[in-house]
A and B are shown apart, each in its own frame.
Chain A
Amino acid sequence: MTSLIRSDRPKELRLCRNTQAKKADLVDGMLDATMVDELAVCPICLDEITDSIATLKPCNHQFHKDCIRKWHTYADDLKCPICRIESKHLEMGYKLGGYHKNIKINLEKGFNIKITIEQAEDHSLPELIEQFGSIHLNNQSSLIRDARCVFCDICGQECSGRDDQYCEQCDSHYHEECLRSLACEVGDRESWQQCIGCRNLVIKGNTRTDAHPHLFDQRIVREQALEYPGNSAARMVSASEEELSRLLNVKTMIQTHVRGVLNEYYQSGVDGIKINKRHFTEVNKTVSRRLYRLSKYRYQEDLINYDTEAKRQVHIELCRLGYVYI
């Protein structure tokens, strides 16, 4: 791989290193000509930043909240698009009942979850257990402590971490990672900060502080609570092995239908369309995942006609890839 980013290169392409960010050593002369409105422009969409400002920490570069989060769900690392300094947090301001509040999102945590979800989708589940099993055990032994907890409204387990989210409107608590994984599962990763019930923005609330003391009276659950480590992999591992093999089975069953449909396209061609191997795997992956979610992680043959549904979805995907039906 030819690299222009490595440090032994001239710094023309390494863009701004400066933490103050705005004016920096871009390619000579490019700055004046191309970044006229630089102060208020989001470097990703080139639109002006009027509201929903998000600031990366520690480098202080600013973006639209949606733009930078879209980039983070896509990127392989957490480097700042401008200066390539590894980001730790994302600071965002928002208004709540007349107050202006800043929330700080721990990017590393979210990033680990993203990786986990991607691996869960790409690898078979037993491999995942193998990979994360040991981590889980370690945390289990070290993190047992007495805590009075409230439940996360998504997974039903205790909210006891510092990063838990709280909806003031509905009085409900969520794990940050539960909200994120749910948002990923419904295919809308950007909207994870909405309350499941009322769609309002959730706020970061330490569920163990005195902020909502009445909740603790109502919902004291156990004196000795086991805190799960802060990622969904651990939660998945905590599901029973039967459950995991059932999920794997559902995936296989659904894939059989999709493969059946795609095989026709691959081997003999349908309506003048013949696909190659790469598109075969690509479409197989997308459609299978979609059907898997659609059937709520169960194989429901009596409710869903998988063959028809697979045909329809494959059709859509192929059109998206640019195939034209004759």
Chain B
Amino acid sequence: MSRIVKEYKKIKKVLEGHGEAFENLIVQLAPVNEYDLLSWKATIRGPSDTPYNGFSIGLTIKIPSDYPISPPMVKFEPYKMPHCNVNFQTGEICLDILTRQHWSPAWDLLHVLKAIEQLLQEPVPESPLNVDIANILKEGDRTAYTGLVRYYFCGGT
């Protein structure tokens, strides 16, 4: 438990210090309330050079009780996320470092967000959770991809 407290202090320090590596990525990363560090929310900026550029994307992070031995559970919530490796209905993310097999206890929440940023930059249509977007990507139709993402972000259902 004290590990997440330490991590919280560290994250506060990094975000206040405007660490350059994260200024372009993290809008917000904080526990939902200060008395319960097991439930976090994060907001990240869509990376430039992707269709997500200019949008803010919300995430919820649940810390398991045996963290950091078990990986944190990260989801795109509360808003739906159009991405080929994200389940559109549940927000579940298909990312290996968030699974039991590939997680390492030496990583922290900042690493996780960095990995998610990388996933946004480099979608992997070979292992899709959103087949429609994966198909568009496989065909290399960049315009349709951008259009679809923007459609959802700008109020599509």
Contacts and interface: CB of A to CB of B under 8 A. Distances in A.
Interface residues of B, number: 37
Contact of A43 (B105, B114, B118): B105
B97 interface: yes
A84 B104 contact: yes
A66 to B, nearest CB: 12
Nearest to B129: A2
Contacts of B95: 2, 4
Given A3-B96, A81-B105, A27 B111 contact: yes
B21 A27 contact: yes
Contact of B20 (A3, A29, A76): A29
Contacts of A4: 95-97, 115, 118-119
B21 A28 contact: yes
Contacts of A34: 10, 13-14, 19, 108, 110
A105 B124 CA distance: 40
- Which 6 A-B pairs rank lowest in CB-CB distance, beginning with the nearest? A29-B21, A43-B106, A81-B106, A33-B19, A81-B104, A46-B6
Contacts of B3: 44-46
A44 B106 contact: yes
A168 interface: no
Interface of B: 2-3, 6-7, 10, 13-14, 17, 19-22, 68-70, 85, 94-97, 99-102, 104-108, 110-111, 114-115, 118-119, 124, 127
A15 B105 CA distance: 12
A47 interface: yes
A326 interface: no
Nearest to B9: A46
Given A4-B97, A13-B111, A70-B69, A33 B21 contact: yes
